[in-house]
Chain A
Amino acid sequence: MSDVIEALSREAEVAEFHRKFVKDGSVPAFQSINAAGIARFEELGFPHAKHEMYTFVNTHELANTRFQLTQGQADAAFVDANTYPACQKARLVFVDGQYDPALSETSGLPQGVSLVALPEALEKEPGLKSCIEKGIAEENDVFASLNAAFVNAGLLIDFAENTVLETPLLILHIGTASKEPVVHHPRLLLRLGRTAEAKVIHKYVGEGGGYCVNAVQDVLLEDGAGLTLARVQADPADAWHLEKLRVFQKRDSRFTALCGSGGCRMARVHYEIHLQGEGAETNLSNASVLTENDQSHHFVRIHHEVPHTTSHQLFKNVIGGKGRSSVDGTVIVNEGAQLTSSEQLINNLMLSDTAHADNKPNLMIFADDVKCTHGATVGQIDKDQLFYLKTRGLEESLATELLTTSFVESLIREIPFPEVVEDLENLLLGKLEVKRD
């Protein structure tokens, strides 16, 4: 790279890269979104070391990596291997951030479910377009603004009123192997009509590492709609995983996210949940198992905007090696949002001397008739429990493994899809297995 470019700030470099991206032919329907995204990015800039939203996350390396936008081909066998048997007929495959209809299978989806390319959907519905544009203009996460700046394909998954999805829909994100660092910008919009019920599984995997997936998802839940989302983050250890999930919930809607994370070079998920209708309920849980240099960070903002809404959060992290985990969660109860009930619990199990666990469970409360609690613990395996197992003749290593795995297993077992439970057990608990001869 020439000296002139080197002298530019990283922000200016990204802006320059964006001009080239637009010139090389971005999708016309996305032009206004791309423009709004880059404008927001330039306002926000990359986070400095003491940025409140990135207190525990070092983004220096990420911001200074020069990513390319290239497109690879996924192997059909790899896709099949990562498809859960129950989802054979309902899977959407994104390869390097782009929706791949050839690898996808939608015959199992009921009538009420429609898939529309995002540009088309936005053109048809000005209401949707203004909602997306507002989200970009008010974006507080710089990486999500970059998604908007570079997005060139996206999908609206629309569940019509009263649609009930019996078998789960699998959304598979695949990163292909690449020699140079590449970045993908998948963007999804999930909309559930009145009293629609859906089950969705998100799985992030890579054929090879070195990529950065920078995903944004908007979820709109109308009155009485219910979405159960399972997330499996299984990116290779040298990948970057950034994700922003924004949820808007109307009256009596339910949103449940049950996640398992194996971490990677840097995984960071940002949840922004708006409870906008009375009786809306959110459940969020995540189990992380981190070893070696894995990192997994969660940043949560739950806005209780109206009276009588509920939120539950549970995070369990097992951290070994030089792993780093952080949970920065804030529950905000707006003025007048009486009868809010909110719970947050973060449990960390530290396995090594070099592991790092940072927690910041915040509450911001502007109403008096509410019940909000949070708790956080950091600890090790209970010596009494270990002793008990040893008196029953278990080897120390086996007893330790048993206690460690049961710490996260209880959370994984909550997931209502047996295949996902099995997959996560292999993925996460496999990392904790003691090597025996």
Chain B
Amino acid sequence: MTEPAKSSSVEDVLEDRGKYKYGFKTMIESETFPKGLNEDVIRAISAKKKEPEFMLDFRLKAYRKWLTMKEPKWPNVHYPPVDFQDISYYSAPKPKEKLESMDEVDPELLRTFEKLGIPLDEQKKLANVAVDAVFDSVSVATTHKQKLMEVGIIFCPISEAVQEYPELVEEYLGTVVPVGDNFYAALNSAVFTDGSFVYIPPDTISPMELSTYFRINTEETGQFERTLIVCAENSYVSYLEGCTAPQFDTNQLHAAVVELVTLENAEIKYSTVQNWYAGDPETGKGGIYNFVTKRGKCQGNNSKISWTQVETGSAITWKYPSCILQGDNTQGEFYSVALTNGLMQADTGTKMIHIGENTKSSIISKGISADKSSNSYRGLVKVGPKAKNARNYTQCDSMLVGDKCSAHTFPYIETANNSVQLEHEASTSKISEDQLFYFESRGISRENAIQAVINGFCKEVFKQLPMEFAVEAQKLLALKLEDSVG
């Protein structure tokens, strides 16, 4: 594996869909498109994925829209402008012939996922979790597929879904986040390469948690994954997402789009533990730019979408998991813990759009900022004129650790009818010395005391997470704060 990296040109791909020249980057053989973005690159991605015509139209429409849009400047984050022509829009582990079993997955890759603690090995069946692992831009393995198919659940990479279930994809893709929704969503719609697709048929409770693990491995690539989850009538699914990336000096762009749709009486619970590489804590060099659009639509009456996120990584986070409460009696929930340390910047929150009658939403957001980081909560609660009896409860608390960090809150509350009940409260404070003194007087070290206080601060959010994730999230917080306190 000493051969220098070569990349296949776009023209080659367009000319010859079968043969590619592969270069080696890190330990994994991967195939990367040259940097740059134009219509040919998009056609090449589409051709490479052997996509039907409607997908190419979808991508080109998004790309043309993207060209007319400007990068958003309103978030409370600062970073040098991203050169979108200096990014490679496709990178994948070298494709082998169709993978039949886990044995054929590159052992190096398996070791990576093992290191990350992801139970890809079906033999072990460690946890009752079905995993779809996405490496750079391509889904490499999906586990427990058979078992899920028995109850009719479709859980597969979205590139596969486009070919095998085009009617489902065509019906729902872009209905929650339209191609021109925002700058990064448009970019994602144009160039996304993979992601997960989930379809839960009517009257089905998913027998296990579904999970995706994302990893960006190659330097100077962008990861643009797309997730689409459709939950039909009277169904339920809980979905977990985890993210990591290795350490590089350059910034990597991650612009994902997640769309959720619930039909009548359906419920989706979506949990994320995000731990992308955050850059060097001293110099701020490197790290992931996490510009993500996540949105769910409660389309059918009585349906529910719940977002839980634990954000501990990324140099810059820009993400607002939202709920469009369209059906009557629908519910939206948002639970978030966002931790920033080093020189990280986060501008995150949610949007709850009440459209239907008797809709309810609740928002619990906990921000912790340490070192020299900046942590902002930005949330919108909007009640339309027809959303009779809408209810919202919002609580956003910030905790500051150290005197160089900052915490901001930007809630937008817009109401346009008189039957609503909205409550919003927020507070900002540091860890109380009294609490720490109490712990210390009982012989508990200051560091452990701070951890205990912070875990208590985040408890309302952690208890929403599936158990394994909750444990991971707690450990992650402790690890991240190790050098910041004490």
Task: Tell me if A358 and B428 are in contact (CB < 8 A).
Answer: no
Q: Chain B contacts of A336 at CB under 8 A?
A: 403
CB of A364 within 8 A of CB of B422, answer no
Chain A, Cβ-Cβ closest to B385 = A353
Report chain B residues within 8 Å CB of A356.
414-416
A19 at the interface (CB under 8 A from B): no
Contacts of B437 in A (CB 8 A): none
Residue contact A359 to B428, C-beta cutoff 8 Å = no
Once the chains bind, are A373 and B426 in contact (CB under 8 Å)? yes
Q: Which residues of A lie under 8 Å from residue B26 when comparing CB positions? A: none
Instruction: Determine the residue in chain B with the shortest Cβ distance to A352.
Output: B418
Asked if B151 is an interface residue, CB under 8 A from chain A, the answer is no
Q: B166 an interface residue at 8 Å Cβ cutoff?
A: no
Q: Which of A55, A352, A369, A378 contacts B422 (CB 8 A)?
A: A378
In angstroms, how far is the closest chain B Cβ from the Cβ of A26? 37
Chain B contacts for A354, CB-based, 8 A: 385, 416-417
Instruction: Report if B411 contacts A (CB, 8 A).
Output: yes
Asked if A366 lies at the interface with its beta carbon under 8 angstroms from chain B, I say yes
Known contacts A350-B415, A368-B402; A363 and B407 CB within 8 A of each other: yes
Whether B400 and A376, one on each chain, are in contact in the complex, defined by CB atoms closer than 8 angstroms, is no
Contacts of A377 in B (CB 8 A): 422-424
Given A369-B430, A373-B428 in contact, is the A358-B401 Cβ separation under 8 Å?
no
Q: How far is the CA of A374 from the CA of B429 in the complex (A)?
A: 12
Q: Which of A360, A365, A367 contacts B412 (CB 8 A)?
A: A360
Interface: B171 (CB within 8 A)? no
Question: Are A359 and B398 in contact, with the CB atoms below 8 A?
Answer: no
Complex interface bits, A268-300 against B, C-beta within 8 A gives 1, otherwise 0: 000000000000000000000000000000000
Check: A430 CB closer than 8 A to any chain B CB.
Answer: no
User: Min CB distance, B74 to chain A, in Å?
Assistant: 7
For A359, the chain B residues whose CB sits under 8 A away are 411-414, 424
User: When chains A and B are docked, how far (Å) is the Cα of A362 from the Cα of B410?
Assistant: 5
In the complex, which residue of chain B has the Cβ closest to the Cβ of A373? Answer: B427
Q: A371's contact among B402, B411, B418, B429, by CB below 8 Å, is which?
A: B429
Mask of B299-316 contacts with A, CB within 8 angstroms, 1/0: 000000000000000000
B423 nearest in chain A by CB position: A377
Specify which of B401, B406, B411, B416 is in contact with A360 (CB 8 Å cutoff).
Answer: B411
Does B421 interact with chain A (Cβ within 8 Å)? yes
* Chain B residues within 8 Å of A368, by CB: 400-403, 405, 430
Q: How far is the CA of A361 from the CA of B379 in the complex (A)?
A: 11
- Nearest CB in chain B to that of A360: its residue: B412
- Segment 324-366 of A: residues with Cβ below 8 Å from B: 335-336, 338, 348, 350-366
Question: Would you give the shortest CB distance from B429 to chain A, in whole angstroms?
Answer: 6
Q: Which residues of B contact A126 (CB under 8 A)?
A: none
Q: Is A212 an interface residue (CB 8 A)?
A: no
Chain A residues lying within 8 Å of B385, measured Cβ to Cβ, are 353-354
User: Is A32 among interface residues, defined by CB-CB distance under 8 A?
Assistant: no
B97 within 8 A of A: no
Which chain A residues border B424 with CB–CB below 8 Å? Answer: 359, 361, 374-377
- A-facing residues in B379-437 (Cβ within 8 Å): 385, 398, 400-430
Q: Which residues of B contact A369 (CB under 8 A)?
A: 403, 430
Sorting the interface of chain B by its residue count into under 10, 10 to 19, 20 to 34 or 35 or more gives 20 to 34
Report A294-336 CB contacts with B as 1/0, cut-off 8 Å: 0000000000000000000000000000000000000000011
Count of A-B contacts with CB under 8 A? 122
Q: In the complex, how many angstroms separate the beta carbon of A119 from the nearest chain B beta carbon?
A: 40
Q: B74–A365 contact, CB under 8 A?
A: no
B420 to A378, Cβ gap below 8 A?
Answer: yes
Pairwise interchain contact B420-A379, C-beta atoms closer than 8 A: yes
B244 to chain A, nearest CB (A): 29
B425 CB contact (under 8 Å) in A352, A366, A375: A375
Q: Name the residue among A55, A368, A380 with the largest chain B CB count within 10 angstroms.
A: A368
* Residues A379 and B421 in contact, CB atoms below 8 Å apart: yes
**Per-position binary interface string of chain A over residues 378-406, scored 1 when its CB falls under 8 Å from any chain B CB and 0 otherwise:** 11100000000000000000000000000
Q: How far, in whole Å, are A363 and B411 apart by their CA atoms in the complex?
A: 9
In the complex the two chains form, is A52's CB within 8 Å of B409's CB?
no
Contact yes or no, A365 B419, CB < 8 A: no
**Pairwise interchain contact A365-B418, C-beta atoms closer than 8 A:** no
A365/B408 in contact, CB under 8 A? yes
Give the contacts of B412-471 with A (CB-CB under 8 A): 412-430
Interface string of B108-120 (1 = CB under 8 A from A): 0000000000000
Q: CB distance A360 to B418 under 8 Å? A: no
CA distance A367 to B421 in the complex (A): 33
Known contacts A354-B385, A363-B408, A365-B406; is-contact A370 B413 (Cβ 8 Å): no
- Knowing A368-B403, A374-B409, A376-B422, the reply to whether A363 touches B428 (Cβ < 8 A) is yes
Q: Name which residue of chain A comes closest to B427, CB basis.
A: A373
Query: How near does chain B come to A49, taking the closest CB pair, in angstroms?
Result: 14
| Docked-complex contact B429 and A370, CB < 8 angstroms | yes
Decide yes or no: A363 and B409 within 8 Å by CB, A52-B74, A370-B429, A379-B422 being known contacts: yes
Tell me if B420 and A372 are in contact (CB < 8 A). no
| B414, B418, B422: residue with the most chain A Cβ atoms closer than 10 Å | B418
Name the B residues within 8 Å of A367 (CB-CB).
Answer: 400, 403
Give the docked Cα–Cα distance between A356 and B411 (Å): 16
CA distance in complex: A57, B181 (Å): 24
Q: Which B residue's beta carbon lies closest to that of A370?
A: B428
Beta-carbon nearest neighbor of B414 in chain A:
A358
Give complex CA distance A360, B378 in Å. Answer: 10
Chain A nearest Cβ from B265, distance in angstroms = 29
* Contact in complex: A374, B415 (CB < 8 Å): no
Q: Select one of B402, B405, B411 contacting A361, CB under 8 A.
A: B411
For the complex, what is the distance from the CA of A335 to the CA of B398, rounded to whole Å? Answer: 16
Which residues of A are found within 8 Å of B406, using beta-carbon distances? 335, 364-366
Cα separation A385 to B438 with both chains bound (whole Å) = 43
Also in contact, A362 and B400, with CB within 8 A (given A375-B426, A377-B424): no
- Taken residue by residue from 400 to 414, chain A's Cβ proximity to chain B (1 for < 8 Å, 0 otherwise) reads as 000000000000000
A362 touches B421 (CB 8 A): no
Docked pose: A237 CA to B409 CA in angstroms: 34
Give the residues in chain B near A351, CB-CB below 8 Å: 418
Verify B410–A360 contact, CB threshold 8 A.
Answer: yes
Question: Cα distance A55–B382 when bound, in Å?
Answer: 14
* A369 CA / B431 CA spacing, docked (Å): 9
Q: B256 to chain A: closest CB distance in Å?
A: 25
Determine whether the beta carbon of B428 is less than 8 Å from that of A372.
Answer: yes
Ordered nearest first, which 9 A-B pairs have the shortest CB separation? A368-B400, A350-B418, A378-B422, A359-B413, A376-B424, A363-B409, A366-B406, A372-B428, A373-B427
Name B's A-contacting residues (CB within 8 A).
Answer: 74, 385, 398, 400-430
CB pairs A–B below 8 angstroms (21 shown): A55-B412, A336-B403, A350-B415, A351-B418, A355-B416, A355-B417, A358-B413, A358-B414, A359-B424, A363-B407, A363-B426, A364-B408, A367-B400, A368-B430, A371-B428, A373-B427, A374-B424, A374-B426, A376-B413, A378-B415, A380-B421
A352-B418, A378-B421 known; 18 other A-B pairs, CB under 8 Å? A52-B74, A55-B412, A56-B414, A335-B406, A360-B411, A361-B411, A363-B408, A363-B409, A365-B400, A365-B407, A368-B403, A370-B429, A371-B429, A372-B429, A375-B423, A376-B422, A377-B424, A380-B418
A interface with B by C-beta (< 8 Å): 52, 55-56, 335-336, 338, 348, 350-380
